[in-house]
Structure 1
Amino acid sequence: MKSIQDRYRLWSENLYFDEETRQELGLITDTQEIEDRFYMDLEFGTGGLRGIIAAGTNRMNKYVIRKVTQGLAECVCDHGTEGMQRGVVIAYDSRRYSPEFALEAALVLAQNGVKAYLFDGLRPTPELSFAVRHLHALAGIVVTASHNPKTYNGYKVYWDDGGQVPPAKADQILARIEARENWLGIEPMSIEAAKTSGLLEIIGEEIDRPYLALVRELALNPGLDAQKGENLRIVYTPLHGAGNILVRRALSELGFSSVTIVPEQELPDSDFTTVPYPNPEIPETFELARKYGVKINADLLLATDPDADRLGVVLRASNGDFEQLTGNQIGVLLTFYILSRKKALGTLPENATIIKTIASTDLADEVANYFNVRVENVLTGFKFIAEKEKEMEENGWGTFQFGFEESYGYLAGDFVRDKDGIIASVLLAEAALYYQQVEGSNLFDILEGIYKRFGYYLDAQESLALEGMKGKEEMARIMDTLRQEEILELGGILIEKFDDYEHRIGKNLGSGQTYPLKLPRSNVLRFSFNGGGFVMVRPSGTEPKIKFYFSVKGDTLLEAEDTLRKVKTDVMHRITQIRSS
């Protein structure tokens, strides 16, 4: 492998790289900046790439897009003429260079003789998943950095079932990428030649219509939606992203006609000028929506992130205040609504199953158990939920009802294999309408009833940003220290089990017995409390961060709040000590 300086000189001097790239690199005087841009190739992990938009091998730019797409194209060509003709579907969001990166990928595929279906404008990530299945394509690409800051973009790969590329296939693509050390010589086909040869096909409404039709079929009370939907006052913001048209159409077609769009956030804006960063998890993204919510006395505020795979929700409480739900609260409410309504309607199958991640609240397990519904817990990342759903279908041992992860990702139905903010918007609106019109209550009332029945589960997250090469080393040291110490309690709460998913071994701290973990290997540590709740730690697979997940249970809200505060303080103090040692 060439040295950092060799790679830097190649990119800043060779005429294969355009003038803009060479000029950008020529102006860098900070050797640390050069090192960070060139000390590695941007990592192809968890089915794709994500990075800061800039020139360099460790950045997002068209040359990185070319190299990765060339690796994907070679894997598609391994499937022969049939695979090449089935082709690859490509979607993109509103971020900087998303349309350009998407076109670059399409034309590299075309140059390799692989058919590319390119959407005619912004489309949500879940619609890309649907399109791969609908068109019987071999693979899919979506250019997005999801909810990350505006300086980022990304590239996610999907396979023929519509799910994110499975590990074995991802390894094959990565092997092809790594086998090509030379950055030069990957030339995209011209647009004219690609269209004339039939290797580039532009798609749009012919995919939108069948997708929206299937979304409508997920409604559990379509008659109520059509008759009373106008009574539910909704404010929706796409946060300048790809959800705008499809969320509005999906709600409107079911009967939710009282939808106010936040005009300042309606249109695409790659700088996301109205928010700190476009993540519906953070309260600031709802500031404008709240103003319109007050103005129209809204019942519900909804926000999707730039690629519309995540949904954030704010509810109007009985006292008129607007309060934001956590991802776990949304997941529990939708779990309860879907299972309770299907049971009442007689449509809940005996082998009904929900799927959630190990980072998501144990409260959902309790709700599912109450309805005699099976729970499958998988690793963090929605790709594992989709893989489990596929496994259930192929083996015929369960009927998928709902899947969610605490980071605002939700899915119902069998036509999408990723989290879907459009589906979640429809189901959440319908749940709010049902409880309002039929039971004379609201979603807060339902949530309080769930807490009273099963216990007050509270959750929180902390992230520690650790950038660059030194940051990676520090994350490794934190994980190794937590792994090696035998921690018996956190915040005064006894730990029942310690699960190390990297070594795939769990330990019952009471008995001292160990047991194998069946989930795939992953650098995750989970400390489960006696009586419910947990602390989980893992390095992010897509950002230079280490993440801490907290979930606690109390008999009352005050008790749960006090426990959560103590546990968080204890954990973060331990991390500070590790970093300073």
Structure 2
Amino acid sequence: MPDSDGLLARARAFLEQDVDPDDRAELESLLKADDREELAARFAGPLTFGTAGIRGILGAGESRMNRSLVLRVTHGLVSYLLEVVPDAARRGIVIARDGRHRSDVFQKDAAAVVTALGVRVHWIEGPNPTPLLAFGVKQLGAAAGIVITASHNPPEYNGYKVYWENGAQIIPPVDAGIAAAIAVAPPANAIPREESSSLVAEVDLADDYLDAVNGLALSQEADTSSFAVAYSALHGVGQRLFLEALGRRGFKKLFPVREQGVPDGNFPTVRFPNPEEPGAFELVLGEAERHGCPLVLVNDPDADRLGAAVRDGEGRYTALSGNEIGVLLASYILARTREPKPLVVSTVVSSRMVEKMCTELGVRYADTLTGFKWIANEAMRLEATEGCRFVFGFEEALGYTVGTVVRDKDGISAGLLLAEMAAGLAENGETLLDELERLRERYGRFVSRQKSFTLTGKEGARAIEDAMRRLRDEPLEQIASERVRFHVKDGVLIYDLEAGGRIAVRPSGTEPKLKFYLEIVGADAASRLDAMERDLLRVAGLDSL
């Protein structure tokens, strides 16, 4: 067949520059079979580098995550770093990885490029939590950090995330500078690599990190030794440090799910390794029931997120939403912090209940776009300009950070504080559910819901664009029976409800999803949310999906 669209030419050009024998064989097989459909999927345009780094399905091709991409991204990153960060070569780059397929290979490739360009590498050996890498950048005074991870994505994914010298994920204009440098990087097979170098030094940061996390404890009086916690790492990298962190705090009755405790990129016991997804808690709830645990805690595969479930008075377990965990942690921290000018930062799609809490307590509150890169960088900006001290940040997607130990979300330190809070309540025969009810009585009955649509491929991308355009071009003044005020914040569509609460709509930055966030205050929550959801989806043109 003729190559009218240049697809075969692009595939052959990529093949000539590919450095990986397995990827080359895979691509050669597709070319030999003339599999245009699969080739078109793999050459639909290069994966783009942004504030979340880069993430994609593993495989050969420009639209896939592979060694050739890692080499070019690293070359671009280091080239830009040497231009803009003082003394970057001496300060070096911290490099870590999770336990996914090819993460070990990608970590080695990244280090080989970094050292070939004359920059030191602080090497974290083995699969480790992402928060440890973020901590390490600050602790070592490094110029940047690289972690190979795809967080909670399905098994076929991997990714490459960058942290800047301040220990936070990158934001503009750094992302654009790195992307521009990647665009002019040499072909993968022409990029210099140094497989063994004296510039590489292995670093062990675990003890320093655990000491810092333990320093976040807020109540030494709580009887942690008799309080039982069930835990799952969801086949990720969190178990070792999570159990050690709670053990140092005095928790002795810890019951991890054995089948999910060792890193395994296949994630064999869960369909989606995400604590937000149905089924992720199945095995850990069984573990909790066997040992009578009042609290269940779950990390995602790179341990930067935290899910939780609580046993009620009748022995049933209730999963807490990301907003509910955020409200509980915010209340616990603000009631005990010694900071004279505490600061809390959240996102525009997270619960307004924390904002109301901060307003009533006289605490500085700010919200940002979705993503911890925005939370961390805004917190540092406000600390510098207003003299306040960041004590807590959260986003509804199970992301939390306590204090300034890690300038990113950290499911380990958040888990420690939530377990400490639960243990203190248990001494009075209460649970986190009782505390949540007290907070609702004080600040209002905020009820939230999220609706997501996964829309893949070019058609899916068009459907997401069309839905956003319809909602943007037809700004609603009323949704169901609720009066709203519509505005747009950096691409996020926001409807503030006159009766309290908020609706926000945005495309995901890391997955082919369109997300709807709905929150209301007051009675008849379920029926009101149902009506608003139906109305919104009708206008978006998604009511038939």
TM-score, structure 2 normalization: 0.95
8 Å Cα contact 2:470/2:540 also seen in 1: no
Aligned partners of 2:475 and 2:21: how far apart in 1? Answer: 56
Aligned partners of 2:544 and 2:57: how far apart in 1? Answer: 26
Match of 2:491?
523
8 Å Cα contact 1:109/1:116 also seen in 2: yes
Match of 1:367, SS state, is: helix
Deviation at 1:576, TM superposition (A): 3.0
Aligned partners of 1:80 and 1:446: how far apart in 2? Answer: 46
8 Å Cα contact 1:4/1:39 also seen in 2: no
Deviation at 1:579, TM superposition (A): 8.6
Aligned partners of 1:448 and 1:81: how far apart in 2? Answer: 51
Whether 1:565 and 2:530 are equivalent positions in the alignment is yes
Match of 1:22?
24
8 Å Cα contact 2:323/2:396 also seen in 1: yes
Deviation at 1:3, TM superposition (A): 4.3
Whether 1:57 and 2:22 are equivalent positions in the alignment is no
Task: Tell me the alpha carbon deviations over residues 432-460 of structure 1, each in whole angstroms, 9 at most, x when there is no partner.
Answer: 011122x4311100111111222221112
Deviation at 1:81, TM superposition (A): 8.0
Match of 1:565, SS state, is: helix
Whether 1:247 and 2:242 are equivalent positions in the alignment is yes
Where do residues 38-57 of structure 1 align in structure 2 (5 Å cutoff)?
A: 38-57=43-62
Whether 1:148 and 2:148 are equivalent positions in the alignment is no
Whether 1:313 and 2:308 are equivalent positions in the alignment is yes
Deviation at 1:181, TM superposition (A): 6.7
Match of 1:167, SS state, is: coil
Task: Tell me the alpha carbon deviations over residues 143-179 of structure 1, each in whole angstroms, 9 at most, x when there is no partner.
Answer: 1111111111111000001000121111111110112
Q: 1:428 to 1:81 in 2, by over 3 A?
A: closer
Aligned partners of 1:128 and 1:379: how far apart in 2? Answer: 23
Match of 2:508?
540
Q: 1:264 to 1:80 in 2, by over 3 A?
A: closer
Aligned partners of 2:112 and 2:348: how far apart in 1? Answer: 39
Task: Tell me the alpha carbon deviations over residues 401-428 of structure 1, each in whole angstroms, 9 at most, x when there is no partner.
Answer: 2100000000111121100001101000
Match of 2:380?
390
Where do residues 406-555 of structure 1 align in structure 2 (5 Å cutoff)?
A: 406-437=396-427, 439-495=428-484, 497-501=485-489, 522-555=490-523
Match of 2:115?
110
Greater CA deviation, 563-572 or 531-540? 563-572
Aligned partners of 1:480 and 1:261: how far apart in 2? Answer: 46
Which one of the candidate residues 130, 143, 150 is aligned to 1:138? 143
Whether 1:371 and 2:370 are equivalent positions in the alignment is no
Task: Tell me the alpha carbon deviations over residues 64-112 of structure 1, each in whole angstroms, 9 at most, x when there is no partner.
Answer: 0001000011012225882111111011111111111111101111111
List alignment gaps of at least 5 residues for structure 1: 502-521
8 Å Cα contact 2:50/2:176 also seen in 1: no
Match of 1:272?
267
Match of 1:200?
200
Match of 1:518?
none
Aligned partners of 1:357 and 1:239: how far apart in 2? Answer: 26
Which one of the candidate residues 287, 291, 302 is aligned to 2:286? 291
Aligned partners of 1:84 and 1:217: how far apart in 2? Answer: 32
Aligned residues: 538
TM-score, structure 1 normalization: 0.90
Which one of the candidate residues 404, 428, 432 is aligned to 2:394? 404
Aligned partners of 1:382 and 1:85: how far apart in 2? Answer: 28
Aligned partners of 2:364 and 2:386: how far apart in 1? Answer: 14
8 Å Cα contact 2:537/2:543 also seen in 1: no
Match of 1:302, SS state, is: strand
Deviation at 1:245, TM superposition (A): 0.8
Amino acid at match of 1:534: R
Q: 1:332 to 1:63 in 2, by over 3 A?
A: same
Amino acid at match of 2:26: E
Match of 1:177, SS state, is: helix
8 Å Cα contact 1:352/1:401 also seen in 2: yes
Amino acid at match of 1:554: G
Aligned partners of 2:522 and 2:457: how far apart in 1? Answer: 39
Match of 1:359?
349
8 Å Cα contact 1:467/1:544 also seen in 2: yes
Match of 1:509?
none
Aligned partners of 1:419 and 1:259: how far apart in 2? Answer: 23
List alignment gaps of at least 5 residues for structure 2: none
Aligned partners of 1:232 and 1:544: how far apart in 2? Answer: 41
8 Å Cα contact 1:458/1:560 also seen in 2: yes
